[in-house]
Amino acid sequence: MMHTFQVARQSYELDRASIEQALEAVLPEPIQEHYVVVQGRRFPPKQVLTCAIGLDRADFTTHQARRILKRLGFTAARKEARPEDSAPLGAGPHGGRQAAALEPYIGQWVALAGPTEVLVAADTPQEVLAWLARHERRAPYGMFRVPRTTADAEGGGPF
Amino acid sequence: MQVEDLEGVPQRCLVDTGTATNRFGAWIAEAVGIDLEGALEERIVVGGVTATAHHARAQLTIAGVRYDAPVTFCDPWPFAFNLLGQEGFLRYFRVTVCARELWLDVEPEPRV
């Protein structure tokens, strides 16, 4: 369903599908505080709107972007409110929280800023390195491909 | 482990006592600018996958020690991590593993 929004004195027609399509091949930028979830990935609200309508991000605020995206049905949240950090500890390293944080990225390359903080996820290591360089970020907890199977994780090959 | 000057992006590794040389994904060579043109090439099987392997050398930094190590860069690379073996790692470091408490201690050999 199309919605009409006013941004920087211009009128735009947007729907959820057009936003998702605009971001399909886009890697999320670093999250400062606010984010919206688009097809399972967290994006800064201003990045989403910039990609969708092509406006300069200086022309609108994060709150405007959040409000528009929430009206289109996207989940918007603050970085601090991470439910996995308050989840009870389970089995495995970091009480199982790392495995839970990485689950959406199975098969992808990720760079980690902390044990459960995924900076970026992409299909190739080159894309991850390019993103880190572009945003001048470091990945102190490493970059690697999130294993698909136990054999991937433990190094076992087929016999 | 840091490869060459790929600072701030440490690579995960599995210590493999059954591997002679270090084995990394070939994308790392490309990322750090190691030219594999002209490097000794062979076909090997790693993790059940046949890969093209190029034998080269790379500057590695582990436990604060930077050293020059033999590395076999493989394409395709089937694992989510790289392999550290005897020649390129274990002869330079003493490793203590405590599987029960999920830790591993790496100490440089005195001659490094």
Tell me the residue range of the domain where A20 lies.
Answer: 3-78
Residue labelled with tokens 């491909």: A145
- Please name which of A120, A156, A155 lies closest in space to residue B13, comparing C-alpha atoms: A155
> Residue A137 domain-assigned?
yes
Residue A158 predicted with pLDDT over 50? no
CB pair distance less than 8 Å for A155 and B31 = no
* In B1-112, alpha helices (H): 26-32
Q: What is the largest CA-CA distance in chain A?
A: 65
What's the structural domain count of chain A?
2
Distance from CA of B32 to the nearest CA of A (A): 10
Residue A159 has what pLDDT?
43
Tell me the residue range of the domain where B61 lies.
Answer: 2-108
> Residue A85 domain-assigned?
no
CB B103 within 8 Å of CB B32: no
CB pair distance less than 8 Å for A139 and B8 = yes
Do A40 and A104 belong to one domain?
A: no
3-state secondary structure of B74: strand
pLDDT in tens, A94-126: 788 888 889 888 989 999 999 888 999 998 998
CB A62 within 8 Å of CB A45: yes
pLDDT in tens, A47-80: 999 999 988 888 899 999 999 999 998 988 887 6
Under the banding of pLDDT at 50, 70 and 90, the label for residue A154 is: low
Residue A86 has what pLDDT?
57
Report the DSSP pairing between strands B22-25 and B65-75.
parallel
Chain B residue numbers touching A132 (CB-CB < 8 A): 8-9
CATH of the domain at B46: 2.40.70.10
Which B positions 69-98 lie with beta carbon below 8 A of chain A?
A: 78-81, 83
CA distance B94 to B106: 6
What's the structural domain count of chain B?
1
Token readout for B14 is: 């599995």
Do A16 and A58 belong to one domain?
A: yes
- CB contact, 8 Å: B48 with chain A? yes
